[in-house]
Structure 1
Amino acid sequence: MTELVIRPLVAGEESLFDSMPDPLPQLRQVGYADGIAGGGYRPEHTWVALRAGRVIGRAAWLLPPGAVGAPWLERFDLAAEPEVGAALLRAAHEALGGPQRYYAAVPAHWRRRPEVLAVVKAPMAAARLVGLVERGERLRCSWTGTPLPTTAGRYTFRPATDTAEINAMVARISEPDILTGKEIALAVGGVDLATDPLAWLNSPAGDWRIGIHAGKPVGLVGTAGDACYPLIAYLGLFDEAVRGELLAEAVRALAAGGAREVLADVDAHRVVVLAELERTGFRQLRSRVIFEPAASTPSGSGVTHG
């Protein structure tokens, strides 16, 4: 069998990475060449597995300029058996100082789509072979102009008074419903979006909306209209009954500001929140399966590293 060579890219080899056909072209993601130009992808953080000069596996770790955390595995494609992918990851982990998080992006409803399962089975198996452990799944949903449901009018809404009011309410909410981009906030800024959203979001306090019932706050939502895409960054509740109306209020405010699409991320196990998003007109765009390093990682591959 032709010898397998595993090595990092060198500057100028962007076309080698892209020579492997994209197995999931329906996913919305930054192209590798664009990521190199923006500084998030780097040749030394990008590894390939080659057989007879052809790329049969590729992995790119992402670390945006100015990020305070470690790079995470953003792109991992494999046209070979899982053991090849595992050898690729082991070699890269050794150079990177140890295993890193892997955010496996997959199309929406991927578990019910045999053609997608056929693509993601090998890289996910490779991740498990090197000791990465699945720690959850995050769904990205998108609203694109669907008419909003009518509301009962039980609640009123007002802008947040100031950052102190926002922080005081956030401190009382142990598990927010929606945290959009929380992985990026943690990896890039070292910020826990659940407990300190204002450290990451630069929108003014007036962009936060507070739901009121019987004169008392029952929930708040923080939006960002000037991010990569308009999004619902944070949604936290004291009364679950306000969820639907507060979601609709947030989308309505963003749409009034010109948004044609609004994004929201939710943990896959939060089925009630997901159902309310869908009732508001959101549809699933993609999933992100989160793999994290376990306490120990298998070693040894018997493969030549170029």
Structure 2
Amino acid sequence: MKPTRTATPYLFLGPALLVFGFAVLWPVAMTVVYSFTTWNGYGPMVFAGIDNYVKAIQDALFRDSFAHVLVYIAATLVLEVLVGLCLAGLVSALRRGSLWFRVAIFTPVMLPMVVVAVLWKFVYNADFGLLNAALQAIGFEDLQRVWLGDTSTALLAICVVSGWVYAGFYMTIFYAAFNQVPSEIVEAARLDGAGEWQIFRRVKVPMIRNAVTVAVLLCVTGGFQGFDLFYVMTNGGPYGVTEIPTTYLVKSVFSFGNVGYGSAMAVLLTAIVVVVGLLFARFSRGRTEGTGS
């Protein structure tokens, strides 16, 4: 049934658009406005032009924060997406008991990230942490570290925590995709003598290529938005080796009172994430068209 008045659809959309404009569009617009000013959050604003953007581009710590987040994304692509894919393949191959495995692996996703960060800070604690205690118990005292205070291990330690949390999330995505693979194809592969590993690698994974693409995009864009783990576990330390763009801009705004500079960094970060997403979508579409699917 078509609406009798052309304005009817807009009346239904109006409340949602107002909320979206107030909660999303207005903060984004004001962030762009603040980025062209020098402001401490409560005093008078001073127009600064593009000085904040020039300062951000020349800021070595801000540039290094992108290198750190790229390392984090590369690690989580393995620890989250690849591990989640393998776990989904393992669970989908089980004849019984898969429900309990899925619940156990997915449980960390349901925990608040702040709780996870505090929990793992105890695990990594150099004095009474579970990890160093386990290494001592099995005779590997030489491997003991101040995990979150060592510049060579702090970033990797955070990546491991992220993988522990989100591997179950991606496992759930891939498990649902595997369930959409026609059982006739899987049974035909088994009749041809294919083992579970061959079915997983040559049948199931190629048939859920779209799900894998979405998972990779979620992991990459989510990596740029990471904040809570880094902020709670290390707050950018030691010596800035775990500083990422989000933690640095939050410090600039709330610790140093540089609202304009922090807003400029937020605008640059948003632009980079949008460009990465568009390039990834274009690349994925190009591969799909190239394979004829």
Structure (1 or 2) with the greater helix fraction: 2
Q: Shorter chain as normaliser: what TM range?
A: under 0.3
Instruction: Give the TM-score normalised by structure 2.
Output: 0.24
Structure (1 or 2) with the greater strand fraction: 1
